[in-house]
Every structure is written in structure tokens, then in C-alpha cells.
Amino acid sequence: MNGFAAFQRDFAAALFADMPSFAPASHPAFAVYRNTVMRACLDALEANFPAVACLVGRDWFRSAAAIHVASSPPRDARLAMYGESFADFLAGFEPAGSLPYLADVARLDRLYVECLHAEDVPTLGADRLAALGPGALARTCLRPHPATRWFSSAMPSRTIWEASRRGEAVHADLSWQPEQALVLRTPHGVHVQPAGPLEIDLLEACAAGATLGEATLAAATTYPDARIDLTLSGLLRSGAFATP
């Protein structure tokens, strides 16, 4: 390794750990670099996970997040996208054990970020499908829009997330049951709406490359009483799919 590269390697290591052998790190002003890097990472995580920050409070959030930053610094200069593994970190973070829903709330915060910044692609309207005959319709593959995300939790994490995004406490009459959500992009930003397992199954089947015939047949087997046609047209109206 040449001198320039070695300097950068040591400087980068000294930002997150003690490096007595690296002379610049022993200068008192080196703290400015350490503080700036850490603060930018923490600010990004706090901005990207507002529901988590609301649930645990700012101080707890930032001290937990600092542990995550030191082991998983950003891999991408788009700090608005930082935190791809933060939910997993929280799931395994022992001090968060008393908040079993926290990692799922973080996952929903993360899906919101992914939805917000996903690439622009036209959405698929129901009229395009209506133009197809029944045979062609069954053979069609629907592609979820790059901004569309779906979410399933074994707990009422969507309700907890919604209240926390508003900075409010969760209602005392919260019903403790699994919840699903769709995360969709609108012209004004991101819309998170309640969903059911059928919508999630349809989107997952489409994302896996199933034809519409295959996806609806599988859904009809799992949910024999459901109006799959109405669910599908609801998804189309929401802009959940992209044009082919």
C-alpha cells in the first residue's frame, strides 16, 4: 500500500477507534473530524427513522445509533438512504428487548425511505389491462412499481408506526394483532395505507415473476372467499404497478 492510501486507511480507522500510532489522531482538533462524521451519520439515521426516534426518545436513539454507525458506517454517499441494516441491528440489540415491535417499526421507516427515493417510472393504469382479452390478461406479468413496498408484521407495528410518525402516543385500546401495510408513492410523497394479507401475497407473487393467472389462482386457493378482482383493481388504482 502506498503512502497516500495508508494515510487514508489509518485516518478512516481513527475516526471510529483509538489509533495511538496515527499521529494526526492525537491532535486535539482531530475530534472535529470524529464529531462531524458521527453527527452526520446520526442526523441521517434520525431523519430516516423518525418513528423509532419518537418511540425511544432522542438520547436513547442517538446512543444506540452510534453503536450501529461505528460497526456499519454508510456505504453510500446518499445519506438520505443510510440505514439499510438498522432494523436488523435493532432486532438484535439487547437493550431494545422490551420493545419487541421496534425493529418492525424501523422496517416501515426504512420502506418509507426506499419508496420516497425510488426511481421515477410511469404507473400502470387499469385501462391498459382492460384492453387485453381474458387469455392475454391471465398470461400478463405485472411489475410492482420500483417505489412500491409492502410490509407485514406479527404485531400492530403499522398502527404504532403511524402514531409515532405523528409524534403521538399509541391509543390505549390498541388491538394486539398482525398488521400489513402498502407503501406507495404519490406525486406529493409517500402514502402508507393499511393492507391485508391478500394484497401482500398478490404483490409478492407478481414481484417473483408469476403471471396474473398464476398469482390469482394461488390467491383464490388461499383466500377462497376474497374478491380478488376488487383487490387487484384497488392496487392498480393506487399506482402499485409500473408500466411494462
Looking at the Cβ atoms of 33 and 60, the one nearer to another protein is 33
For residue 121, give the DSSP letter.
Answer: -
127 binds another protein (CB under 8 A): no
Looking at the Cβ atoms of 44 and 105, the one nearer to another protein is 44
> Which helix (H) or strand (E) covers residue 102, if one does?
helix 102-117
Cβ pair 194, 179 in contact under 8 A: yes
- Window 21 to 50, contacts with another protein (CB under 8 A): 23-24, 27-33, 36-37, 40-41, 44
Binder among 59, 76, 127, 225 for another protein (CB under 8 A): 76
For residue 81, give the DSSP letter.
Answer: G
Min dist. Cβ of residue 214 to another protein (A): 29
Q: Which amino acid is at 130?
A: A
Looking at the Cβ atoms of 153 and 238, the one nearer to another protein is 238
Min dist. Cβ of residue 1 to another protein (A): 8
Looking at the Cβ atoms of 36 and 222, the one nearer to another protein is 36
- Which residues of the chain form beta strands (DSSP E)? 143-144, 149-153, 179-186, 189-195, 241-242
Q: How many CB atoms lie within 10 A of CB 64?
A: 20
Q: Nearest to residue 91, comparing CAs of 171, 167, 157?
A: 157
Min dist. Cβ of residue 174 to another protein (A): 31
Phi and psi torsions of 141, nearest 5°: -105, 130
Min dist. Cβ of residue 111 to another protein (A): 14
Min dist. Cβ of residue 83 to another protein (A): 13
Binder among 19, 50, 60, 73 for another protein (CB under 8 A): 73
The alpha carbon of residue 10 and the mean position of all alpha carbons in its chain are separated, in whole angstroms, by: 33
Q: How many CB atoms lie within 10 A of CB 151?
A: 21
Looking at the Cβ atoms of 106 and 115, the one nearer to another protein is 115
Binder among 93, 117, 143, 210 for another protein (CB under 8 A): 117
- Window 128 to 167, contacts with another protein (CB under 8 A): 146-147
Min dist. Cβ of residue 186 to another protein (A): 9
> How does DSSP assign 146-215, residue by residue?
TT-EEEEESSSHHHHHHHHHTT-PPPTT-----EEEEEEEETTEEEEEEE-HHHHHHHHHHHTT--HHHH
- Distances in whole angstroms, Cα of residue 212 to Cα of each of 39, 105, 140: 47, 31, 6
111 binds another protein (CB under 8 A): no
Q: By the criterion CB under 8 A, which residues form the site for another protein? A: 2-5, 7-9, 11-12, 15, 23-24, 27-33, 36-37, 40-41, 44, 73-81, 116-121, 146-147, 185, 187-189
